[in-house]
Structure 1
Amino acid sequence: MIAALDHVQLAAPPGSESALRAYYVEVLGMREIPKPPVLAARGGCWFEAGGVRLHLGIEEDFRAARKAHPGVRVTDIEAYAERLASRGAEVVRDDDLPGHRRFCSSDPVGNRLEFMERNDGGG
């Protein structure tokens, strides 16, 4: 039986870990969590905030996920969008999902991320 979603993995090109850390920690406000040593040898990095876990794995023949994306629920979406914009991240608003406010941004390697909040403020 499925109980929960443990994490979402996105790909990244070799050598991008510093840029990923700057974006996911400093821009998004996530914290980096250590990878087990056997997996750390492969490169990449893992991040979490609240119940959200994102793994960035190194892929030699990297192509950014421009359509596929994690959808991350946030609180106070306007303040969060301002946080990203004030740190130089693109914020692309989209009002097409009934009952939600949302925007998209891309990480430094081009992966799409969607941030959303229900209109009733329920996250």
Structure 2
Amino acid sequence: MLTGIDHVQLAAPPGSEDRLRAYYGGVLGMREIPKPPVLAARGGCWFQAGNVQLHLGIEDDFRPAEKAHPGLRVTGIEAYAARLVARGATVTWDDDLPGHRRCYSHDPVGNRLEFLEPVV
């Protein structure tokens, strides 16, 4: 039986770890978590906020996920989107999902991320 999602992995190009740390840590406010040594040797980096984990793995023939994306729940989406913009990220709003406020942004290597908050 499935009980939840342990993590979501996105790909990134070789040598992009510093840019990923600046974005996922500095812009999104996630905490970097250590990778097991055998996996750390492959490059990439892992991040966590609450129960949400995003793993960025290095892919030699990297292409960004432009359509596929993780949907990340946030609280105070207006303030969160303003935080992204203030830190240099582009935010695109989308009103097509009933009962939610949501926006999209891209990480520094081009992966699409969705941020959403239910409207109560």
* Fold shared by both chains (TM-score > 0.5): yes
1:26 offset after TM fit, Å?
Answer: 0.3
Partner of 1:82: 82
Structure 1 segments, 4+ long, off by >6 Å, are: none
Helix, strand or coil: the match of 1:72?
Answer: strand
Helix, strand or coil: the match of 1:116?
Answer: strand
When the two chains are superposed, the root-mean-square deviation of aligned CA atoms in Å is 0.3
TM-score, scaled to structure 2: 0.99
Alignment gaps of 5+ in structure 1: none
1:21 maps onto 2:21 in alignment: yes
Q: Which amino acid aligns with 1:56?
A: L
Partner of 2:31: 31
Give % identity: 76
TM-score, scaled to structure 1: 0.97
Q: Which amino acid aligns with 1:87?
A: R
Paired with 2:40 and 2:112, the residues of 1 have a C-alpha distance of: 24
* Aligned residue pairs, count: 120
Q: 1:16-71: CA deviations, max 9, x gaps?
A: 00000000000000000000000000000000001110000000000000000000
1:64 maps onto 2:64 in alignment: yes
Partner of 1:5: 5
